[in-house]
Structure 1
Amino acid sequence: MAKVVLTLFLIGHALGDFYLQSSELAIGKDKSFKKLLKHGVIYLFSMMFVIIPVFSLKLLKWTVIISIAHFIVDLVNFFIKKKITIDDKLDALAYSLDQIIHILVIIFTAAIIYFLSEPISYTYCIQYILNRSQIDVMDIFSWMLILLIIIQPFSITIKKLLYRYKPTANNEEGGHLNAGALIGILERCIILLLLSVGQYSSIGFVLTAKSIARYNKIADDPKFSEYYLLGTLLSVMLVIIAYLLIF
């Protein structure tokens, strides 16, 4: 059950820190305490929502603790950004440290719950369904988690980490707005499916197809080709690491 709790906490984090946080709120919480508080409340409710399958008052206590710790980390980040001018390089570093701390807090909390042998069980409805079917709930939770993180969190992470390598010229000229981000999401989803069925060699065909569409740009613009290669390799690496860790 410890793995179930950890997975649910991570799902709650993905929902609260990415999907339920608009771009406006993400930017505004660094400048406005009111918006930071709003994000904290949304995050708390997202964490409370995901523990419904194993809900208990003791688990709710740990959920509140995680949410408070999340708010404190964001609050420290808020004051730092008030004092220091953050450029793109520092922004990527701050984002990385922020997410690492949040995830470590969740892992540490799940470990405490495990070592304290907190009584955790599925709610009556979930247990009833499990007793009458052969559904692997942990497998469902794992797929929910990995699908959530390879879409928006990975897209934002790649954008943050590689922003300073992005060529200044308008390399999307002639293409559709945000098409690159959508291509990246589809690429990661296809790679995930290939990993799940053991078709590792087929991943190369996906990357080849993606490269063909940008062949002229890659051949004519060295800076774009480097940025493209970094983005592709980072995207593939993140999917593989996530798959190995979750499954």
Structure 2
Amino acid sequence: MLDQLCHILLLVVVSILYHVTFFLPPSWVSVLRISVLLLCAAKPVSVMFTELFGRFRPMPGEGTEGAGKVIGYLERLILVILMVVGEYGVIGWIIAAKTFARSRQLADSQAFCEYFLVGTLLSILSSISLYLVLYRW
């Protein structure tokens, strides 16, 4: 509950700051934009994924418990940073490396393969959506 309250408070603060950004120097607006982008790409997307698709999670096998969540955080942070600096071509390499690292698990389990694909696509979609909302809209 406290977690959700903090998210709502963050959204209120950002919406208030958004209306006063024309008083801030352009460098501060950029810092604010990048900060909001990185913050929203990490925890809120992870919570959304868990709420929407947590019931489809395959049974835990060997591996570090919770590593997928950390990988998701890092994936989204790398994706949004690459979009901010305009290196769109590198995004494909990041996704390919992630897929290669999990190739054995993808070949062994259909359930894991589908869960992995849904998670990866949601990470990509959320990263692109956040970037477009904060930088192109």
Deviation at residue 228 of structure 1 after TM alignment:
0.5
Q: Which amino acid aligns with 2:128?
A: I
1:136 matched to 2:24 = no
Deviation at residue 202 of structure 1 after TM alignment:
1.1
Determine which structure has more spread, i.e. the larger CA radius of gyration: 1
Q: 3-state DSSP class of the match of 2:33?
A: helix
Select 1:232's aligned residue among 109, 120, 135. Answer: 120
- After TM superposition, where is structure 1 displaced by more than 4 Å over at least 4 residues in a row? none
Question: TM-score, normalised on structure 2?
Answer: 0.81
Q: 3-state DSSP class of the match of 1:175?
A: coil
Deviation at residue 164 of structure 1 after TM alignment:
2.9
Aligned to 1:152: 43
Question: TM-score, normalised on structure 1?
Answer: 0.47
Deviations 1:11-62 (A, max 9, x none): xxxxxx8xxx34xxx6xxxxxxxxxxxx5xx678x46x947x96xxxxxxxx
Aligned to 2:82: 194
What is the rounded CA distance, in whole Å, between the counterparts of 2:90 and 2:46 in structure 1? 22
What is the rounded CA distance, in whole Å, between the counterparts of 2:7 and 2:48 in structure 1? 19
Deviations 1:180-224 (A, max 9, x none): 111111111111111112221211111111112211110010111
Q: Any gaps of 5 or more consecutive residues in structure 2?
A: none
Root-mean-square deviation (CA, aligned residues, Å) is 3.0
Deviation at residue 121 of structure 1 after TM alignment:
8.1
Aligned to 2:100: 212
1:1-247, aligned counterparts within 5 Å? 21-22=2-3, 39=5, 46=9, 50=13, 135-167=26-58, 169-170=59-60, 173-247=61-135
Higher relative contact order (CA 8 A, sep 6+): 2
